[in-house]
Chain A
Amino acid sequence: MKKKLITAMALFSFGIMLWAQTNNLSVSVARGEAVYKKECLSCHQVDGGGVPHMNPPLAQSSNVLKDKQKIITVVLKGMSDRIPLDDEYYSNVMASHSYLTDQQIADVLTYVRNSFGNKATAVTAAEVKAIRGPVKKTTSQVKKS
């Protein structure tokens, strides 16, 4: 009986933890959607599909799905390198979005990693903060054209 009770309690608390996590995820995704609409949608488009050869897609993008550190850095510093993403070149630059808070960046990246057919773990404000540390506040992505 005692064993059963402990198992039941353990299962219950595990369930609560899971519930809290999904709940946190959906709250973060909802906040992130608002940030996306204001800051990202015009270039990456309403479907996260980007603009062919101009603005890279976020949907099924290996950059978005694989390495959290990489996408956090892109949002903080912007991006102007001419490098291929999933075997395609994109010509527009992205400006730094370091004026967003750690929480806003975490939310928008969590939204992007869980929208447009993407499924990946959440990004936390602590993870953004850890990377922002070494990034200078005034960093601009294009110094001279």
Chain B
Amino acid sequence: MPAIAVKRADLLQTKKIPMKKVFSFLSISFLFAVPCLANPYADTINAGLSLPKGFEASKVSDGIGRIRHLLVTPEGVIYARTSRLYKGNGILKMTAQNGDGKIDKVEGFSNYTGTGIALKDGYLYASSDDEVFRYKLNAKNEVIDAEHPEKIITGLWNKRQHESKSIALDNNGNIYVNIGAPSNSCQEVDRGNGSKGRMPCPILDSAGGIWMFKADKLNQSYAQGVRYATGLRNVVGLDWNTQSNSLFVMQHGRDNLLQDWPQYFDAEQSAELPSECMYELKKGDNAGWPYIYYNQILHKKMLAPEYGGDGKTESPRAKDFIEPVVAFPGHLAPNGLLFYTGNMFPEKYRNGAFIAFHGSWNRAPMPQEGYYVVFVPFKNGKPSGKWEVFANGFSGVKVVNATRQAEHRPCGLAQGPDGSLYVSDDNKGTIYRITYSGK
């Protein structure tokens, strides 16, 4: 018995922590604790974001709803869509009343969750994962009857994967809806190791593309719509470009090159490939999913391994498919696209594209990437320079090794009436506002 007691005492001795360490730990905790305990709205510098010189960022709201897409009315009111009901509501109306720019009034309506939201010609448009509704607005852009929206589109595919429906409107009375493919690469066994692709891919009849409907007709479905463009696996970010008068979309490229085809791809290739592509769409276009993927390093449309590819072979049908406008690295997950038409930012930014990248998961076992907002300069509807990271630091960590380490994940983009840029986060429910002062 005594022997054991001695041993225990030894153990205690060795585990004793020097007081010096305790003090330094306490002082470090204190340093971190002070800003947290202070006013929750007090921003750290630029709300924790890194931005180009002359720009500032602040959080206008924090911890309210999982905000997907959003818009700001000419009166400065935010309408936001949530992927989960917030206090029973799927559309939030958020107002900053007392002049400091922070949201201090949140109202809500609609009992359905979803992603898409748009303002056009006196109506607010909002999508669920299988329908699109619109609400008549008064002269101040306020919804007149939140209980009775018009159902303009119904019965769209909603099969678990890639279920969100994003929307954009043109200036000719049309609305464009993404219908994501409920599949990774149209395999016989979805995400199955080495499983072959179905030929032709039957999904493309009802999904994997952009459908066009009338913005003012009730109860439209596939029969009344037009498959505007096909071969797009899943689009979340899309915007109508008023300069080129055309629709631009950001495709989420396919996953699992390494996991399903380890004989053709290593971990690094599978992290970088395939490209997340920006496309400009014309009616009838085909971007090639699932038969091809785009290799941004070789600038080639490659034959997908599910259809006989080996990572080295270009698709024999490459000419049938459109070229990307911009090709980003793999798996960054572009969830928001916005062409900037404001006057607040310097001339370089006018008519250029902002893209909110939600951040990757399929780059594993390599570190994850994305979780930032990118800018691409445009002239006359075409890119006029290289893309650059515009706002970074949403994740809150230097390296994201596992997706849930990222604190905030950029999702939606909106332009304020003064030309400021709003970025939503659907993880913690933060809305950032980015302004330019030139200082």
Contacts and interface: CB of A to CB of B under 8 A. Distances in A.
Interface of A: 37, 41-43, 45-47, 49-55, 57, 80, 82, 91-96, 99, 140-142, 145
B87 interface: no
A51 B183 contact: no
Contact of B190 (A42, A51, A52, A142): A142
Contact of A93 (B161, B195, B402): B161
Given A95-B190, A95-B192, 13 more contacts: A41-B364, A42-B259, A42-B365, A45-B404, A46-B364, A46-B365, A49-B404, A51-B403, A52-B403, A95-B195, A96-B189, A142-B190, A145-B159
B182 interface: yes
B85 to A, nearest CB: 12
B388 interface: no
- The 9 lowest CB-CB distance pairs between A and B, nearest first, are A49-B404, A45-B402, A47-B402, A51-B361, A95-B192, A140-B189, A142-B190, A95-B191, A51-B403
A90 B188 CA distance: 21
23 contacts: A41-B364, A42-B256, A42-B259, A42-B362, A43-B361, A47-B404, A49-B404, A50-B404, A51-B403, A52-B404, A82-B160, A91-B161, A91-B162, A93-B161, A93-B190, A95-B191, A95-B193, A95-B195, A141-B189, A145-B159, A145-B182, A145-B190, A145-B203
Contacts of B258: 42
B401 A46 contact: yes
Contact of A37 (B192, B365, B409, B427): B365
A54 B361 contact: yes
A43 B193 CA distance: 14
A142 B191 CA distance: 10
Given A42-B256, A46-B364, A54-B361, A93 B401 contact: no
A65 to B, nearest CB: 18
A145 B259 CA distance: 21
B242 interface: no
A92 B189 contact: no
A140 B188 contact: yes
Interface in B172-206: 181-183, 188-193, 195, 202-203
Interface in B391-417: 401-405, 409
Contacts of B159: 145
A82 B308 CA distance: 32
Given A47-B402, A94-B191, A145-B182, A55 B161 contact: no
B161 A99 contact: no
Contacts of B163: 91
B427 A52 contact: yes
B83 interface: yes
A54 B252 CA distance: 14
A145 B183 contact: yes
A99 B364 CA distance: 22
A46 B189 contact: no
A113 to B, nearest CB: 19
Nearest to B256: A42
Nearest to B183: A145
A92 B234 CA distance: 13
B336 to A, nearest CB: 16
Q: Which of A46, A82, A96 has the most CB of B within 10 A?
A: A46
Contacts of A46: 364-365, 401-402
Contacts of B409: 52
Contacts of B193: 95, 99
Interface in B138-173: 159-163
A41 B190 contact: no
Contact of A141 (B83, B162, B190, B362): B190
Contacts of A82: 160
B191 A57 contact: no
A93 B189 CA distance: 10
A52 B368 CA distance: 14
Contacts of B405: 47, 49
A117 B363 CA distance: 24
A57 B161 CA distance: 17
A50 B402 CA distance: 8
Contacts of A95: 189-193, 195
A95 B256 CA distance: 12
A25 B161 CA distance: 36
A116 B243 CA distance: 51
Given A140-B188, A140-B189, A47 B401 contact: yes
B200 to A, nearest CB: 14
A114 to B, nearest CB: 18
